[in-house]
Structure 1
Amino acid sequence: MVSLKWVVMISCLFAATSALAEDPPIVGIDGHTVTFRATKWTMPGVNSATAWFTANGKTFPLFSADVGADGHPDWLSPDKKTLLLDPVVFGMLSDENQEEKLVSQQHCDVISMETGCVLAERSPRFCLGKWVGNQWFSEDGEVLTPILETESPKEWLKYISTIKAAQSRADSIESSLTFLSPESYMACHPPAQNVQAYNDLGFYLAEGGRDELALKFYRGVEAVGKRTVLMLNMADSLWRLDRQEEAQRYYREYRDAMSADGKAQKIPQRVIERTAHQGMKN
């Protein structure tokens, strides 16, 4: 039987023109930039960079940590609002004889230079083409007028919530973010309009043991405003990640908010224990 073992190895298939750290950033509308950071991968011969978006003093990765990307100035639209990039994930294919060979998964993604949102995803060959006005014409005859195609968190949750097992729910969410970073996803669908949906996604991830990823969505909701349940969820994830000092701060904020609302009797016992004794664990 053949099995696919994804490893933390990333690169670009367009090696001859791969974007490296010394390349200048691609500058879009209002001075927003996409830069490429050289990264050391453990796989011999892999040489790639990760792509980062910067706007209004904030910088975040466009893709997951294990994804490399390639980009070129001529993939930027004339109005500087849209950029094409080709993210790539490499893995090792192992057969029944334990012999391995390198395989890859590659996309052509459409990036909003206004927000850092990954608007849409296409096949790798879609990046071969040219801009005609602000429409992209691929060599295969496909035409792109850049619009948001990335599914909303509310629609996403309709499917996720049908999965019964906690581990399977978390696995499904994580696999859907194989390429896309949570920050870029939230740039497409701002937390201010999706508070409950992002809190639910974070909870499902944490319930399935993906606390680091859960915190990405919790942080997005936290930036909109403090919420009592959110503080408890964040504290629990931080505690499980052995970040007790930070977790205790959120437990105390949760405890104080519950007490102020006259709900002290509903505070879980673990909150009382973890705020009463420095460094205490379950």
Structure 2
Amino acid sequence: MIYGDPSAAARSHHRRRALDVIESAFRTGWITGPDHDLRAAQVETAATVGELNGLIRDLAGRTIAESSGPVDLVLPPPIGADDRVVAPPPPARSPGRGIGGFLWVAVAASVLIVAGVSAFVLVGRNTGSDSGSSGGFTRESTAAPSPSHETPTAVPRYALTRPGIAVFKQDFADEFGSGTPVTAVSLFDTYVLVTIPDASFDGNQTWLYRRGDFSKAERSTDERGSVTFDVQDIDEAAIAATLRSAPRRVDVRRPTERMVVVTSHNDGEPAILIDLANKRGDHGDVTTTLAGRVLEVHRATG
């Protein structure tokens, strides 16, 4: 459980603790892939410590032990943020492939690039994505559905870079039209969640953008995200510049996890939250205007 005042605003270290519990439960089979996806998405949008505890209360009391043996079953692929490759167990006669899963991914990727060998794999979830923690932000419910089948040989159209964000903005305009108002945009390393008001049910529709395609994720009637903005007003150059300077600003060295959330701030205007974390457990975030002017800085906490 996460200790503290249940009514306190959820910060990045609170969310990361909740995600750790959910990821551990998923890896050891306590919860399914779809349940994992839904809980993780709700962690990203929870506003208080109490809401986070409600998502992990049934998991935190269990003793979850990681399995040290080989995996005999490839689980259905949940939505992820890093395109982690999960390969079938290698044959016993090939000791060179019996090492850890992540090293096997690296070897497989090298073979694909150098030798041009095609492999069919499944896509997994980034265990580190969270939704940031700026107390002034409005959160919305965004649960991403599991994809069907994907191949890593396809060239991704999007990445959390200046060119990648520009590609997303153009694809959004092509799909929904230029000037379509949105209430929230969450930019991860390999996918985007964007929430659009939908008058057909007087609420919001969240869409998953991945590999150049849009698919429906979840509906919400929550009115907290009523402030709208134009996706085209997001300055990808400003985001890229803040991503470069953020590790120094928040004292998170060598960040391994990044997320950018664009939604309404406590002043009623849209703003950008950039959240960073590293393998040491340091977390910090920077809040800026859409043009990149810094509003808030929360330095690293471990």
Same fold at TM > 0.5: no
Tell me which structure has the larger Cα radius of gyration.
Answer: 1
TM-score (norm 1): 0.24
Greater relative CO (CA pairs within 8 A, separation 6+): 2
Higher helix share: 1
